[in-house]
Structures are given as C-alpha cells and as structure tokens.
A and B are shown apart, each in its own frame.
Chain A
Amino acid sequence: AQSVTQLDSHVSVSEGTPVLLRCNYSSSYSPSLFWYVQHPNKGLQLLLKYTSAATLVKGINGFEAEFKKSETSFHLTKPSAHMSDAAEYFCVVSVMTTDSWGKLQFGAGTQVVVTP
C-alpha cells in the first residue's frame, strides 16, 4: 500500500530565508510523487512531480524537491521564501495498484507561514 507522511504540520519562516517541507513515502512500487499547494479559498495547484528521469525535480515559483529512494523521502525546498508562499502544501502519492486507477493519497498537509 502507498502512503505519505508529512513530518511538520506547521512551518514558520522569515521572508528571504530557506523553506524545507519534509515528506516520507511508503510504496511497494516505483512511486509517482507530487507536491501540491493550496492557497486560501483556491484550488490545488501542482508545484512539481517526480518522473524518475531525475532525482532533483524543479517546479514552479522556485521550488524543488529531491527524491531519495534510500531514505524514502521527497522533501520540498525553496532557497528564499516570499510572502506569497504562505499556503498549505501537500505531499501526494499516486496509488498504483491494479484497481486503483491512480487515485491520489494526500499527506495531512503543512501550513507555511511567512513573516516579514
């Protein structure tokens, strides 16, 4: 069975400092992993996705994530936080069993607060 665990429910950073959001996954298969962002009263937006072509994945708005199979991790980082990065972030795995059709399994989410 596939699952994801987001290790921090809340992260507070100062504007201009690095952001690290931690995610560990469990999967019996080579996983399809994603990070989505959800701004207040907005829909889910895809930040980036792991395609197995490269372990370091670059996404939108300066975010990137590194897939580490040995650590079963897919942590999200950004070198310098902006005020607009304040949102809820979800680490997501696609459930790849014969009858799952790739439904998404979401982590519990990490709320990011950015202070001036």
Chain B
Amino acid sequence: GAGVSQSPRYKVAKRGQDVALRCDPISGHVSLFWYQQALGQGPEFLTYFQNEAQLDKSGLPSDRFFAERPEGSVSTLKIQRTQQEDSAVYLCASSLFPRTSSYNEQFFGPGTRLTVL
C-alpha cells in the first residue's frame, strides 16, 4: 500500500477485556513507532521497533501493554485487562531508516480509536 494502515479503526471494549491493534507500515520501512493520543492532547511515545527488535519500550504505561513485530513488518499492540484510562487513539508510524531526522521522517497511520466502557 501507499501508506501506513491500521486496523481496526474503532474498537469498543468492556473493562477487563484484552484488545489487539494492528499496524501495517510502509513496505520496507525499518523503523516502527507506536504512540498514544489521549483526548485533547498530543501523541505520546509508547515503543519503538527496528525491524523485529523492540529497542525502546520506555513509554509503555504498564505491563498490561505489549507490542510485537515478529517478522519486521506488521506490528501488533496488545492491551490486556483494559481499563477506562486506556481509552485513546493509538497511532502507528514508520520511517525508512533508523533514527528519525528531517531526512528520515515518520509517516503516520490513521490511528485506532479505543473506547473502554
């Protein structure tokens, strides 16, 4: 595809349910980032993959959050035992090389809006 895609676009979960959010980056992109955007706020970094290696997970808010990219392309963000404070838009971004710079920008997907009831 031409851009980053994410699915589902919308997800409603009952508190305590597990959810899985999928990201398809631009083909060939080495770097993949996940961000969380709470209502009315800017996105905040969650985790970073370089190919299949998860090199930075410093932004994951708790051990209920888990991300993987087993073959270095598609990535899945999993949230276990969802809570109301997990309600947010989850954004995925990819870039061609490691290390974002003005010559290696991140391209964003449309996001998945998660609502936890």
Contact = CB atoms under 8 A, between A and B. Distances in A.
Nearest to B108: A44
Interface string B48-76: 10100001100100000000000000000
A43 B99 contact: no
A44 B93 CA distance: 10
B45 A46 contact: no
B110 A108 contact: no
Nearest to B59: A103
Nearest to B3: A43
Contacts of A34: 102, 105
Interface residues on A, range: 20 to 34
Interface residues of B, number: 32
Contacts of B109: 43
A109 B89 CA distance: 15
Given A42-B110, A90-B42, A107-B42, A100 B56 contact: yes
B21 interface: no
Contacts of A106: 42-44
B84 interface: no
Contact of B99 (A49, A101, A107): A101
B98 A32 contact: no
Contact of B100 (A44, A90, A101): A101
B45 A104 contact: yes
A96 B102 CA distance: 11
Contact of B33 (A42, A43, A90, A103): A103
Given A96-B99, A108-B41, 19 more contacts: A36-B108, A44-B93, A49-B105, A50-B102, A52-B102, A99-B55, A99-B56, A101-B50, A101-B98, A102-B95, A102-B100, A103-B33, A103-B45, A104-B100, A106-B43, A106-B44, A107-B42, A109-B41, A109-B42
- Minimum-distance CB pairs A-B, first 9: A102-B100, A106-B42, A44-B108, A43-B110, A51-B102, A103-B45, A49-B102, A94-B100, A102-B99
